[in-house]
Structure 1
Amino acid sequence: MTDSHSPAAPTTERLGRRALLRNGTLLLGAATLPVAAASAADDTARLRVGLVTDLHYADKPAAGTRHYRETRGKLAEAAAEFERQGITCLVELGDLIDAAEEVETEQRYLQTINREFSAICDDRHYVLGNHCVDTLMKEEFLGSVGQAKPYYSFDRQGFHFVVLDSCFRADGQPYGRKNFQWTDANVPQEELEWLAADLAGTDNQTIVFAHQRLDVSNNHGVKNNADVRKILEASGNVLAVFQGHSHQNDLKEIHGIHYCTLVAMVEGSGEENNGYATMEIQQDGTIQLKGFRKQADREFV
């Protein structure tokens, strides 16, 4: 298995007040760590989370760069690595399945890929993506994967995690049954109020998971993401946001919070075009994103 963070020249770049890059590995934390501490991250990880996004599984021929049927093999590779790493929990950042014209077809896609995804880890979390509810209703998707709510929070080992749902139209209506345009992604007022109250209710350092991006104003961004960011910034506890949707590696820092976009698993043919990651949180709150294959296969400066 090829790790995109193979040994390289021992150089260090500073990325804002909470980031450190060492040998291609992005480290996020309350303060930049010395290189010696960063190199020991694998041995001192307090919490290790498996991350995948944009699997777009479907039993249909490839279209352009998207190889839908190959997702199962790519996920199997990720599962083996997650087992080797000993992950605590698993998070899927949206678009687990691709769109279908019929409800029954989309349910079949979901049942097939979730049978394999759910076998990886009992403690798993699903972020809703626009393709997840292209034909299905939210309650149908969530019921099939055994998740009670589309947005919620949970704590693990002294850290707070938030799962957001941006699959709402500008008028507040939830996505479902092809009633939306994918460029019209919003976090409704009710969820914004919930988010503010949730963050106010914890003193723990916090990680946020999203599908549509909270850091851009183009078609891949949540339309009212400035409102979301204002709430995240006001809490003073949010370290980072991990997101998908645009199928590319990207990193932005906005007012001290890092917005890290992960590469899509569906893109490209063959194992060399796979992409997934583990996020490791150390006891001091430092976060290390370790990417495999195409994930984070570049330096952020």
Structure 2
Amino acid sequence: MPKTKQYCPICGKDQIGQDQQRCPQCDADLTCFWVLDALPEQGEVVASPVGIRKMKIWGLIGGGGILLLVVSLGWMLYQNHKVARTLADNQNRLEQVNRTMLALVEKIEAEKEVIKKEAFLQKINSQQMASESKDLEPRAPDAKPEPSQAKSSPSQVNPEPRQPKPEPSQVVRQPPLSRQTRIVRPTQEQRPFFWYETTDKDTLWSIADRFYHNGRYYPVLLIMNPQVSLYEIKAGQRLKILKNPKDAVYVFNRSIVRQGSVVFFWYHIQPGDRPQTLSRKFYRAEDQYSIIEKLNPNLRFEPGQRIKIWLPDL
């Protein structure tokens, strides 16, 4: 390194050679200053190519991992959204199918009721036509006995011996029953009963099956409770129930009539009954009054009048 002139940082004297270890003016030790001046200035740090390559590789790996993580999260969110939307669509389709099935079942039940009622009306018409045609058939005149060709003389006829009549003492006659000895059955109002409060799951059939041990006895409930409709049982209604099931059997047998294979129910007209109310009471719809009118051509809607009602499952 060439020798140059320096200055003293203590007193400021210049033109001091580097071979001088002390300042000629202030006698300060300049060795440390010369050492500092001899050091090179801050240089650039040169990295090796291998380190740069490794840094680039790790940077690419880190960036790729971050990108892969972001893509994975996005894909998972998309799949979750897709699954949720699919589940919602499936739920909507299932509800739609359930509604369609319920509507179809109701339609089938309604068609069954219509078919049953039409078959019943046809049967009634055929029975009426058969009875009318039977009344219109010509009847053969009564056969008269042919006179005998030769009358026998009284002398030729041997009279048959007469049987002796039984003496009056031999005929035993039972005296008629007096009013006190006749069997008098109580009416529906006189039979012991209790009150039952209905629930939202009750039907007349289930109530009759529960208390009378047979659901076919449900007309007894209509007799005991004339204000009740067959298909409109609501929770909280109070019904009269016969305590003895044998009484229910007796009332049921007295309240039905059989015509061939068809069974009818005797109903007594109540105050306020009209064609629409009777149709809704027994057939759920107000437009089925023709069934009642067909069975009762002399219907006058007088309270107490007895009419025939066709009920299902009797």
Larger RCO, structures 1/2 (Cα 8 Å, 6+ apart): 1
More helix by share: 2
Greater Cα radius of gyration, structure 1 or 2: 2
TM exceeds 0.5? no
Please identify which structure carries the higher strand content.
Answer: 1
Q: Give the TM-score band, short-chain normalised.
A: under 0.3
Q: What TM-score do the two structures reach when normalised by structure 2? A: 0.19
